[in-house]
Amino acid sequence: MAFETITVETDDHVCLIKLNRPDALNALNTMLLGELCDALEEADANDKIRVIVVTGSEKAFAAGADIKEMSEKSFVEVFNENLFADASDRIMAIRKPIIAAVSGYALGGGCELAMACDFIIAADTAKFGQPEINLGVIAGMGGTQRLTRYVGKSKSMDMNLSGRFMTAEEAERAGLVSRVVPAKKLMEEAMGAAGKIAEKSLPTILAAKEAVNRSYETTLREGILFERRVFHSMFATEDQKEGMAAFLEKRQPQFRDK
């Protein structure tokens, strides 16, 4: 598929999606969000792809939803079109792991997009924020919900009410990002992490993602039960036999996604 606002590269098992509206700091307009979701779904459906990496430019992962595009819309327009609901739902439906590799600004919808991915690897230049309050609105794709779960109420309130930016270092301390690396090493680190995950058994990767995400949707007791049932079900796979046999035989496993 040909895209205008993103680029897509695939190697053996990893799909790299790069947001590409440099003149607008990768502001998320309708076309970009549509193309991003199309590319994510294509990668999800591609048997060869096991992990997806989403990144931006050195200066900006994404500086938010496109303010120019939405500034004149009325309540009835955004309500009727259910602005951003489609992108949110489509990203949440992706079953393969998505790593956000964030350099520079990840603001508003950009921060929310990074948080909608499965984990964030940040360059030391990254800046996270929910500055929507400065525009007379609030976050619209998880900034009050996911951020609160990531960093707790106090920091989330601070970010959503003051609109201040968080550095990569603070974001790592607060649990928003999983790793921080020097900017020059960002893509090497993100692609390395993707490659490591891609070595595992695909059904196990999908099950692990589903089980972690379940913890956001349910009580601890139900979540633990869900995890145990999925854990039990993995014993029906050939890859469980192979993984455990390989450990006992002191060799690398040869997973066959079965």
131 in contact with ligand CO8 (CB under 6 A)? yes
Residues 6+ apart with CB under 8 A from 255: 199, 200, 201, 202, 204, 239, 242, 243
Among residues 104, 109, 110, 140, which one is catalytic? 109
Among residues 24, 27, 60, 65, which one is catalytic? 65
Q: Is 132 designated active site?
A: yes
Q: Is 109 designated active site?
A: yes
Q: In what order do the strands lie in the sheet with 51-55?
A: 6-10, 14-19, 51-55, 98-102, 119-123, 179-181
Taking the C-alpha atoms of residue 160 and residue 222, their distance in angstroms, rounded to an integer, is: 31
Sign of CA dihedral 167, 172, 175, 177: positive
Contact (CB, 8 A) for 98 and 52 = yes
Among residues 24, 56, 126, 132, which one is catalytic? 132
Stretch that binds ligand CO8, among 3-11, 24-32, 168-176, 233-241 (CB under 6 A): 24-32
132 in contact with ligand CO8 (CB under 6 A)? yes
Q: Is 112 designated active site?
A: yes
Hey, is 137 helix, strand or coil? coil
Sign of CA dihedral 106, 108, 52, 178: positive
CB of 86 to ligand CO8, least distance (A): 10
- CB-nearer residue toward ligand CO8: 55 or 201: 55
Among residues 112, 129, 168, 171, which one is catalytic? 112
**Site map (CB under 6 A) of ligand CO8, residues 66-105, x = contact:** xxx---------------x--x-----------------x
- CB-nearer residue toward ligand CO8: 82 or 154: 82
Q: Which amino acid is at 33?
A: L
108 in contact with ligand CO8 (CB under 6 A)? yes
126 in contact with ligand CO8 (CB under 6 A)? no
141 in contact with ligand CO8 (CB under 6 A)? yes
252: β partners: none
- CB-nearer residue toward ligand CO8: 91 or 197: 91
Residues 6+ apart with CB under 8 A from 10: 16, 43, 46, 48, 49
List of residues contacting ligand CO8 (CB under 6 A):
24-25, 27-28, 33, 63-68, 84, 87, 105, 107-109, 112-113, 131-132, 135, 139-141
Which residues are tagged catalytic? 65, 109, 112, 132
